[in-house]
């Protein structure tokens, strides 16, 4: 019985360690942080410009490799296209760890504090970049 218990506990420890190692590998992969902002005043050009100004402050955060700001493209309207947002932010990070550090960076926290009055909805998609 003790031998069986030892085997079960060893297998569990190995499995947990393997899962931890796999999760650690995932945290080292490059990723995209894609944010969609729905503004309180969707037609306000001054609000749009103000938010863009605020988003530009995020470029100085360590770990931000590339930052892209965009608006909805005037493509043909299709049922699958989400159109309930006015501004998009895409940030490329070398790792999930870099993105985690970005979330608690004082510049990011200040951005949220200073500009959150401009939006009523934020949707985020965090994507691991395919390893090629």
81: left (phi over 0), alpha (psi -120 to 50) or beta: beta
- Does residue 57 fall inside a structural domain? yes
Within-domain flag for 34? yes
Asked if residue 117 is part of any domain, the answer here is yes
Residue 8 forms part of a structural domain = no
Query: Within a domain: residue 52?
Result: yes
* 22 assigned to some structural domain: no
Contact 33, 124 (CB under 8 A): yes
Domain hosting 50: range is 28-128
Residue 114 belongs to domain with CATH number: 3.30.70.100
Q: Full-prediction pTM beyond 0.75? A: yes
- The answer to whether residue 21 sits within a structural domain is no
Flag residues of the chain having pLDDT under 50. 18-19, 21
> How buried is residue 29: exposed, middle or buried, by Cβ count under 10 Å (0-12/13-18/19+)?
middle
pLDDT at residue 17 in the model: 53
Whole-angstrom CA distances from 12 to 8, 16, 21, 60 are: 6, 6, 14, 44
Domain contains 7: no
Work out how many domains the chain is built from and give that number.
Answer: 1
């Amino acid at each position: 019985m003790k031998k069986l218990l030892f085997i079960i506990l060893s297998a569990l420890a190995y499995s947990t360690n393997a899962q931890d190692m796999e999760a650690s590998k995932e945290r080292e992969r490059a990723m995209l942080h894609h944010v969609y902002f729905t503004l309180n005043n969707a037609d306000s050009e001054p609000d749009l410009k103000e938010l863009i100004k605020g988003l530009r402050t995020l470029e100085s955060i360590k770990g931000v490799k590339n930052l892209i700001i965009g608006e909805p493209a005037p493509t043909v309207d299709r049922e699958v296209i989400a159109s309930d947002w006015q501004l998009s932010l895409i940030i490329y990070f070398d790792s999930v760890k870099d993105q985690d550090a970005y979330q608690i960076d004082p510049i990011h926290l200040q951005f949220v504090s200073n500009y959150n009055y401009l939006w009523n909805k934020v949707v985020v998609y965090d994507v691991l970049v395919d390893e090629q």
